[in-house]
Amino acid sequence: MNSMLTNTKQILNSNTRELAFTLIEVLIVVIVLAVLAAIVVPRFSNAADGALDAAVAANVRTLNTQAEILFRTHQAQHAPESEWITTPEALKLAVNGQLPDDWTVSGNTFIAPNDQQFSFTAETSSSAAKLEDENGGTGETTNPEATPTPTPTPSPGLSTDGYTMEQIQALTGEDLLNANLTPEQMAWLTPEQLAQFDNYDLASLSQEQIQALTADQIASLSHDQFAAVAGSLSPEQLASASPQQIAALREDIYSSLSTEQAAALTEAQLAERAIADDIRTWNYFKFRNLSPEQIPYLTAEQIASIPDSYEMSTIPANCRAAFTQEQLQAINTSDVSLKYLTEAQRELLTSAQYAAIDNYFDLRYVSPTRIEDVSADLIASIPNSYEMSTISADTRAAMTTEQLQAINTSKVSLKYLTEDQRELLTAQQYADITKYTDLRYVSPDRFPDLSTDVIASIPSSYEMSTIPAVSRAAMSTEQLQAINTGNVSLGYLTESQRELLSADQYANIDDFYEIRYISPSRIADVSTDLIASIPSDYEMSKMSAATRAAMTTELVQAVNTSKVSVSYLTTDQRDQLTTSQIQNMKANDIYLLSASRITDVSTTQISSITSSYQFNKIPTSSLQAMTMDQVLAIDDDIYERYKDRFTAEQQAWR
């Protein structure tokens, strides 16, 4: 019994020694653990700090983006030069809604969880505000192990971190196209939003974003959009596409599908693809038999083979409206009119297609945004003002200088150009103007460029009056001397310009109305016929006294004294009158004659004086110069009253 107990203790003691650690072993383990802690714990601490710094930097970028949005929104709603946020406090309040929960605000300072402190620098609308730390930094992590990079320029993209589905679906226009959407947010987009992406926008998306699109979204894509993303779609997404979308894929895109993508295609998709393959063998005259759904199956080469506008017109309008962008950009615009495309389709054409247009008729279908793409030769071919008028005013206003300087101004009126555009025309274009109706559109600066022929063609005073006074005043001497003064009144010229007219131009004046504009120095150049045509005292009175006094003897002797009083002539001029003129005078004017000319008065004129007042005005010297016949013709009553003013010899005659 004792022997058994002894053996048992020995066995237990032996096992105990095998399971226990020696002191040396324990010390070694402790040392190893200490070394590991010294290495690993700082690593974890640095990683945590780095993650915190990165989070702070991301939050700073978000806040700066929000400040940028506020800035852009203000610019859109107010004048760009107006001030928007002038104090950091105001900006802080504006973006506080974007502040993360683990940040705090103290006065005018934002405090990050890593204890970095930031303040906004707010300026006027010339620059956006920026969140900066006390050292002028923008909150980027400063991990010394990281490769230093320059501070990036703030991205124009819209940060959508934290946006709800409703907020994402409210994005439109540039905000939508520039939004930095996550794959999850991509799946929220409506078909209307996806329609705003062109094929280039979609092709620039990441594969993760594209593969987040739902079956409904894929079904809503146009053929051009679908072609842009087909290669990046998952097999499941391809299988959800419509048979028409698969059938419309270009051969190079279809053949580049991966084995997995090709294997996922459905029987319906493959069957429609077979139909499309057959359609791709057709000639253009069969295109009229296609449905709108089948039009996208045509290759670009097939579309390019359409030879003229007639063949294009045979394709039903609803089928033409189904052309894809790639097909539209294959149309030969030198043979096929833009008339057969919709406005939206015309905007999808390339610049080269617009440059290839060679029929001016198509200019009526060119929008303001695309007119710069057409050739100067096409503009030069516009044959008349009517065709110019069929181009919209906005499109004409968008013409380039080169295009403007290609216009044939001998055929196309300046009326269809803006004032600024007219100033861009060449001197030769002004010299080529043949229509006097265009003169009303010529500025003073450009008037000297006009030909004398177009000035000579002005047919009337009315047309002259349509030319602004400042432009008329800018006429050169050569142009002035081309005016047809038989048709155009001198009233539309300045006094100094009238002096520059030629003697022939004055001789050509045939309207007595013009005598009011003739200076003393030029009255000698007018014709006697013009003076003879003066119909009344009123018109004679419109000629200045100095001009009347400068009339030559020939002009004086052309005055119709039966209509015009000799009171408008000087004493010397009355002595120059012919006997016939004197005998045609009104009796009331006899008193104006000198004694040397009284004898030319007829006895009929003398006997017609029945007014003592009028007779009394005749000077005694003139009465005493009268002949016997004249004295005998005087009314008896008047003679008796004034006989003492006659000579004794004259009294003896009575």
Q: pLDDT digits over 365-400, tens only?
A: 999 999 999 999 999 999 999 999 999 999 999 999
Residue 608 has pLDDT above 60, yes or no: yes
Question: What's the whole-number mean pLDDT along residues 269-278?
Answer: 96
Lowest mean pLDDT among 67-76, 269-278, 512-521, 542-551: 67-76
Lowest mean pLDDT among 104-113, 161-170, 415-424, 456-465: 104-113
Q: What is the pLDDT of residue 143?
A: 35
Q: What is the pLDDT of residue 50?
A: 55
Q: What is the pLDDT of residue 80?
A: 47
Q: What is the pLDDT of residue 156?
A: 52
Q: What is the pLDDT of residue 462?
A: 97
Q: Are 440 and 468 in contact (CB under 8 A)?
A: yes
Residue 41 has pLDDT above 90, yes or no: no
pLDDT bucket at 77, cuts 50 / 70 / 90: very low
d(CA 527, CA 530): 5
Residue 457 has pLDDT above 70, yes or no: yes
CA-CA distances (angstroms) from residue 275 to 19, 298, 434, 616?
81, 11, 61, 120
Q: What is the pLDDT of residue 125?
A: 39
Taking the CA atoms of the chain, what radius of gyration do you get in angstroms? Answer: 51
Q: Are 368 and 397 in contact (CB under 8 A)?
A: yes
| Best mean pLDDT range from 90-104, 146-160, 167-181, 384-398 | 384-398
Backbone angles phi, psi at 120, to 5 degrees: -85, 140
Residue 145 has pLDDT above 50, yes or no: no
Q: What is the pLDDT of residue 25?
A: 67
Backbone CA torsion sign across 581, 583, 584, 586: positive
Residue 467 identity (one-letter amino acid): I
Residue 494 identity (one-letter amino acid): T
pLDDT bucket at 47, cuts 50 / 70 / 90: very low
d(CA 353, CA 175): 31
Residue 153 has pLDDT above 90, yes or no: no
Q: What is the pLDDT of residue 547?
A: 98
Residue 506 CB partners (closer than 8 Å, separation 6+): 485, 518, 522, 525, 526
Residue 81 has pLDDT above 50, yes or no: no
Using CA atoms of 603, 606, 607, 609 in order, give the dihedral in degrees to the nearest 10: 160
pLDDT bucket at 68, cuts 50 / 70 / 90: low
Q: Are 442 and 461 in contact (CB under 8 A)?
A: no
Using CA atoms of 122, 126, 127, 129 in order, give the dihedral in degrees to the nearest 10: 20
What is the β-pairing status of strands 179-180 and 158-159?
parallel
Question: What's the whole-number mean pLDDT along residues 601-617?
Answer: 94
Cβ count near 336 (within 10 Å): 24
Cβ count near 538 (within 10 Å): 9
Q: What average pLDDT does the structure give for the chain? A: 86
To the nearest whole percent, how much of the chain has pLDDT over 70?
79
- Return the beta strands (E) in 81-208 as ranges: 104-106, 109-111, 117-121, 130-133, 158-159, 179-180
Structure tokens at 411: 């055929």
Q: Are 110 and 117 in contact (CB under 8 A)?
A: yes
Residue 57 CB partners (closer than 8 Å, separation 6+): 139, 140, 141
Q: Which residues of 430-439 are buried (b: 16+ CB within 10 A; e: fewer)?
A: bebbebbebb
Q: What is the pLDDT of residue 105?
A: 72
For the sheet containing 104-106, what is the strand order? Answer: 104-106, 109-111, 117-121, 130-133
Of 384, 364, 383, residue with least CA distance to 374: 364
pLDDT digits 0-9 by tens, 554-594: 999 999 999 999 999 999 999 999 999 999 999 999 999 99
d(CA 641, CA 639): 5
Q: What is the pLDDT of residue 295?
A: 96
pLDDT bucket at 112, cuts 50 / 70 / 90: confident
Residue 151 has pLDDT above 60, yes or no: no
Q: What is the pLDDT of residue 483?
A: 98
Q: What is the pLDDT of residue 500?
A: 98
Q: What is the pLDDT of residue 200?
A: 82
Q: What is the pLDDT of residue 114?
A: 75
Structure tokens at 434: 């043949």
What is the β-pairing status of strands 179-180 and 109-111?
unpaired
Residue 507 identity (one-letter amino acid): A
d(CA 344, CA 328): 11
Q: What is the pLDDT of residue 97?
A: 56
Residue 311 has pLDDT above 60, yes or no: yes
pLDDT digits 0-9 by tens, 500-555: 999 999 999 999 999 999 999 999 999 999 999 999 999 999 999 999 999 999 99
Question: What's the whole-number mean pLDDT along residues 474-501?
Answer: 97
Degrees, nearest 5: CA angle 389-323-200: 95
CA-CA distances (angstroms) from residue 506 to 485, 488, 498, 502, 602?
7, 12, 9, 7, 36
Question: What's the whole-number mean pLDDT along residues 186-205?
Answer: 91
> pTM, whole model, 2 decimals?
0.66
To the nearest whole percent, how much of the chain has pLDDT over 90?
73
